[in-house]
C-alpha cells in the first residue's frame, strides 16, 4: 500500500515538472524579450515560495490557516514542491552556464555568480536529503540541515537584483516583489515566535 502511494506521489511529481516545462516553453514564445533561463528561475522561485508560505501563514494568520485546506496540503507535500523548485533551479543554472559558457573552475566566475551558486548548492543539499532514509539516518541533524532553506530567503533577492540590474524583463518586478516579501514575512514570523516564547 505504501509503495503504491509512493509511486502515485512520484508520478504526480514528474507530471508537475513536465507540465511546468511545457507552460514555461509557451511563456517563452508568447511573451517577447524574456530569456528562457529566467522563466526557469522564476518557476523555481514560485515553487520555493510554496514551500515557505504555509509555515508563515500558520504563524501569522493561524485562523486563516485552519480554514484553508490548501495551506495544509502544501505543507504536507512540501517535499515534492521543494524538489520541483530544485529541478527548475538546476534548469535555470544549466541554461545560463551553457548560454554564457561559464567556467566555475575560474575563481572570478565563482565570485561573480556567488549568490546563484550558493542557492543551487543549498537546493541540492535539501533535495538529496528530502527522503525518509535521510530523516532516519540524520535524525536531529536533518532539521538543522533543512533550516538552510531560510538562508535562500535572503540570498535570492540579492541574486535577482544583482543579475537583472539594468536589464529587467516583464518577470523581474514579480520576482523581486515575491522574494523580498518572503524575506520580510519570514522575519515577521521569527519576531512573533520569539515574543511567544
Task: Per-residue pLDDT tens, the chain, 197 aa: give them.
Answer: 444 455 455 566 567 667 766 776 676 666 666 788 888 899 899 999 999 998 898 888 888 777 777 888 888 888 888 988 998 899 899 989 998 898 888 999 999 999 999 999 999 999 999 888 888 999 889 999 999 999 999 999 999 999 988 888 888 999 999 999 999 999 999 998 888 87
Q: Evaluate whether 71 touches 65 at the Cβ level (below 8 Å).
A: yes
pTM value is 0.85
Contacts of 17 (CB under 8 A, 6+ apart): 84, 87, 88
Measured between alpha carbons, how far is 180 from 176 in angstroms, rounded to an integer?
6
Percentage helix, strand, coil, to 5, in the chain?
85, 0, 15
Amino acid at each position: 500500500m505504501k509503495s503504491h502511494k509512493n509511486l502515485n506521489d512520484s508520478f504526480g511529481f514528474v507530471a508537475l515538472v513536465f507540465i511546468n516545462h511545457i507552460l514555461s516553453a509557451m511563456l517563452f514564445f508568447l511573451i517577447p524579450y524574456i530569456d528562457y533561463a529566467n522563466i526557469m528561475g522564476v518557476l523555481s522561485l514560485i515553487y520555493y515560495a510554496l514551500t515557505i508560505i504555509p509555515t508563515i501563514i500558520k504563524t501569522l494568520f493561524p485562523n486563516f490557516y485552519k480554514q484553508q485546506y490548501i495551506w495544509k496540503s502544501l505543507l504536507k507535500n512540501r517535499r515534492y514542491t521543494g524538489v520541483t523548485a530544485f529541478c527548475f533551479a538546476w534548469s535555470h543554472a544549466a541554461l545560463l552556464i551553457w548560454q554564457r559558457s561559464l567556467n566555475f573552475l575560474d575563481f572570478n566566475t565563482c565570485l561573480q555568480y556567488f549568490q546563484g551558486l550558493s542557492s543551487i548548492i543549498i537546493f541540492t543539499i535539501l533535495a538529496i536529503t528530502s527522503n525518509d532514509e535521510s530523516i532516519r539516518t540524520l535524525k536531529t541533524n536533518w532539521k538543522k540541515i533543512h533550516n538552510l532553506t531560510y538562508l535562500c530567503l535572503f540570498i535570492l533577492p540579492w541574486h535577482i537584483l544583482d543579475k537583472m540590474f539594468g536589464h529587467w524583463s516583464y518577470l523581474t518586478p514579480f520576482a523581486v516583489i515575491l522574494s523580498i516579501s518572503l524575506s520580510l514575512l519570514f522575519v515577521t514570523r521569527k519576531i512573533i515566535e520569539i515574543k511567544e516564547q
